[in-house]
Structure 1
Amino acid sequence: MDGIAPKAHETPTRCENGSAYDASDTERWAAEPDKRPGRTAFQRDRARVLHSAALRRLAGKTQVVTPGTRSEAWDASPRTRLTHSLECAQVGRELGAALGCDPDLVEAACLSHDLGHPPFGHNGEQALNAFAHDCGGFEGNAQSLRLLARIEPKRFVPNVCTGELVSVGLNLTRAVLDAATKYPWPRGAHPTDPASAKFGVYEDDRPVFDWFRKGAPGHRTCFEAQVMDWSDDVAYSVHDFEDGLHAGYVDPGSLHAEPERQAVFAVAAGRYVPADTDPDELAEALDRLLAQQWWPREYDGSAIAQGRLKDATSQLIGRFCLAAEGATRAAYGSGRLTRYAAELVVPRSTRMECAVLKAVADLYVMQRAEQERIRADQRVVVAELAEALTARAPDGLDPQFRALFEEAADDRARKRVIVDQIASLTDASAGHLHARLTGRA
């Protein structure tokens, strides 16, 4: 965003019991008039994300089970990135409001958190990262910021050097951009693990990142981002488990059998909790869930079973959110908690329960043999599509990315445009473009 100067602010948002956010929180990178007096800055931000094309495209992007694939046991559509984002937003809005956050701010962050995910979910993310290794890599969270602040067409401002109009994306407020940032550091700057693949900003987007992070304490995430992050964990752990049970991939009875339990704990310790976590702690977490009266002990797909399963998902979400709310209130009292005034406190026992649910879905849904075959094909599609676009661009690029490709200053910048184009595709559109450019289905 070189050549674009940040400026001006908007009227501070006010909540029912007083102002919790100041003029700095509601600043936008580029000044804008308030078109509808009485509507807060964060309400405007929520509406912008909700109406964005990037959010709509999540309907065609993989969550766990690839959209358009189904087993004989599956009698309902699996969740997509869009339905997950909507569910995450509902969880985050209520939890944030209970803790004193502006609910529209938290909801906007939750709706935004997965916008940058490419086709085929984390599988596509890995393939794109390999392709983009020499132009800054690829990370879905960094791509989300890039969409919000640069790619999604909403606001354009003159470049101070050339006078040409340049996109500033949705031009969201400082507080919402900060709340949507899970990993507030560039590639290779993870505060505790420099080898981590997780980061939240590309070098190209450092100006807007440095602007909205001005005054933030180091690599610390703001309170609203922590609420968003936990809401994400809650939503996908519970709903992936629900989907797996509904599809017939998860047998509730197997969670009492020792070999299956040990397999679940091994997955959890490798991905969702520190590797040295005592399996007995995970066993205790699973047993606490199994002991609940509402826990689904069997599932036959009947209307009564569906109702009981839906009640179990509601109970789980309430359990995880109330645990975080109670522990945070115990630490900070009853006041309004916003920005950098507090840290979200999630009891370790609750995190273990959430991790066990993630591991169950991972083991029985994501690690099924047919899913690995699908993922292998998807990696080929992304890799070959990247090669084909590199060889033929600007042919194959959408008009928006064609223009950016032709304006790019060097090969590195042109490669980033190709990455942006592929990341914007749905699963189906990636397959169609791959077939058109390579001649292979």
Structure 2
Amino acid sequence: MTRACYAADPAAPRGREFPENREGARGPRSEFQRDRDRIIHSIAFRRLRSKTQVFIAPDGDHYRTRLTHSLEVAQIGRVIARALGLDEDLTEALCLAHDIGHPPFGHAGETALEEALAMRGGFDHNAQGLRMLMRLESPYIGHPGINLTWDLLEGLAKHNGPINAPGWALHELDEAFTLDLGNWPSLEAQVAAVSDDIAYDNHDIDDGLRAGFLDLDDLMQIDLLADRFREVERRFPSASRELQLRELVRSQIGAMVNDVIEHTRANVADVASVTEVREHSGRLAGFSPEMTTAERGLKRFMYDKLYYHPDQISAAEKARDVVGRLFAAYSQDANQLPRDWQAILPESEPNRSRKLADFIAGMTDRFAIDQCARIYGKVPDGLRNV
């Protein structure tokens, strides 16, 4: 499809933080394709396969992790980008990288690190993702990070909108390689953000049904889902209930994707460049007002029935305790760290605690559990709830 006038241009990216010598370049790829490939080949991306999406360190193989979630977000993002004439490679790269900064155990782990760094500037998973890609993972000779394009980093920094008061981590990175935090990001970044919403709104329903935390009666409390399920029953009256529910999730994703495409297309009808996108007064890519209201209702339902389920809260409290105990152990005795991390641990605060948080944030659920057991002899019972 022809690239739209408001799309990011892979032939004219706004550069990389560190100049690169392309002698012996590997294949005829655009700059955004290189970004995507660097993310896919990164250790940080591979670790997502063992990081919590909804359920903490699940025993079942069929539950989603941060990795499978990111792949599903990328699939949705590519569909929307193609329909709107956006750059699919940049959109895909943004979708794949959007959760790289999450610590083990998802939001429970993030809460523990926020508490640990409360007097050291705090912790934010989005800024941590940029810190990981720009400073911590350094496989190249001559510079830190994996040296992604400005366009990709800008989209990760502010995919949810302009940032007027960045925390310490994002502020440091912006000082080194300014990301124009006060403006809106590209449409590709905005599409990545709404694709994330579509994926977890619907796939978390799928996992909640699989785990027995949700059932059909629960879903019928939401008008949006009830109307769609009745349509599924009408079309497939002889199908099993399990297949009908899976069709419900698929049809709901399709409806949300179509809504985003239609609403965004109307919003950008008079937009002539990516510069106008960034200078616009508000978000251009997203749900219609009607779908926004319905989607917020769905989120409230999911928090009530799934995310804040007593079993989930209990497991999250135990996971938060694991991360908090790890931070305490490393703070008290740096010899508990691997030798390579001991060698780079700063002597003074706040950098010392922030470096400890870097180590913990990179952990998978399994590694965090193993380290807690190694140091303390055991981990809390009931950490897994599926």
Matched, 1:309 2:309: no
Matched, 1:175 2:151: yes
Cα-to-partner distance string for 1:309-360 (whole Å, 9 max, x where unaligned): 3322221111111111111212322988746436214212112222233233
Matched, 1:56 2:20: no
> TM-score by structure 1 length?
0.75
Deviation at 1:364, TM superposition (A): 2.3
Against the structure 1 CA distance between its residues 39 and 345, is the aligned structure 2 distance closer, same or farther, given a 3 Å change threshold?
same
CA distance in structure 2 between the aligned counterparts of 1:97 and 1:201, rounded to whole angstroms: 33
Matched, 1:88 2:43: no
Name the amino acid aligned to 1:350. M
Cα-to-partner distance string for 1:89-146 (whole Å, 9 max, x where unaligned): 1111111222122101011011111000001101110110110122221010010010
Cα-to-partner distance string for 1:213-249 (whole Å, 9 max, x where unaligned): 3xx6x24233222111100100000101111123222
CA distance in structure 2 between the aligned counterparts of 1:63 and 1:382, rounded to whole angstroms: 17
**Structure 2 residue matching 1:85: 3-state secondary structure:** helix
Aligned counterparts, 1:62-211, within 5 A:
62-69=52-59, 77-157=62-142, 166-167=143-144, 169-181=145-157, 182=159, 189=165, 201-210=169-178
**Sequence identity (%):** 35
Q: Is the 8 A contact 2:98 2:156 kept in 1?
A: yes
- Aligned partner of 1:32 in structure 2 is 20
Name the amino acid aligned to 1:108. A
Match of 2:362 among 413, 418, 424: 424
Cα-to-partner distance string for 1:167-209 (whole Å, 9 max, x where unaligned): 1x110011111122235667x827xxxxxxxx69433323345
CA distance in structure 1 between the aligned counterparts of 2:323 and 2:365, rounded to whole angstroms: 10
Deviation at 1:426, TM superposition (A): 0.8
Name the amino acid aligned to 2:361. A
Aligned counterparts, 1:309-348, within 5 A:
309-333=245-269, 338=274, 340-341=276-277, 343-348=284-289
- Aligned partner of 1:373 in structure 2 is 314
**Structure 1 residue matching 2:350: 3-state secondary structure:** helix
Q: Is the 8 A contact 2:50 2:366 kept in 1?
A: yes
Match of 1:402 among 342, 350, 358: 342
CA distance in structure 1 between the aligned counterparts of 2:230 and 2:270, rounded to whole angstroms: 30
Against the structure 1 CA distance between its residues 417 and 333, is the aligned structure 2 distance closer, same or farther, given a 3 Å change threshold?
same
- Aligned partner of 1:292 in structure 2 is 228
Deviation at 1:56, TM superposition (A): 1.1
- Aligned partner of 2:35 in structure 1 is 45
Q: Is the 8 A contact 2:77 2:92 kept in 1?
A: yes
Aligned counterparts, 1:209-358, within 5 A:
209-210=177-178, 212-213=179-180, 218-256=182-220, 261=221, 286-292=222-228, 304-333=240-269, 338=274, 340-341=276-277, 343-358=284-299
Equivalences, count: 367
> Higher helix proportion, which one?
2
- What is the RMSD of the two structures over their aligned residues, measured on CA atoms? 2.9
Against the structure 1 CA distance between its residues 248 and 440, is the aligned structure 2 distance closer, same or farther, given a 3 Å change threshold?
closer
Runs of at least 4 residues off by over 6 Å = 14-19, 334-337
**For structure 2, which runs of at least 5 residues remain unmatched after alignment?**
380-386
> TM-score by structure 2 length?
0.85
CA distance in structure 2 between the aligned counterparts of 1:45 and 1:232, rounded to whole angstroms: 19
Q: Is the 8 A contact 1:25 1:175 kept in 2?
A: yes
Q: Is the 8 A contact 1:244 1:250 kept in 2?
A: yes
Name the amino acid aligned to 1:170. I
CA distance in structure 2 between the aligned counterparts of 1:437 and 1:123, rounded to whole angstroms: 20
Match of 1:362 among 288, 293, 303: 303
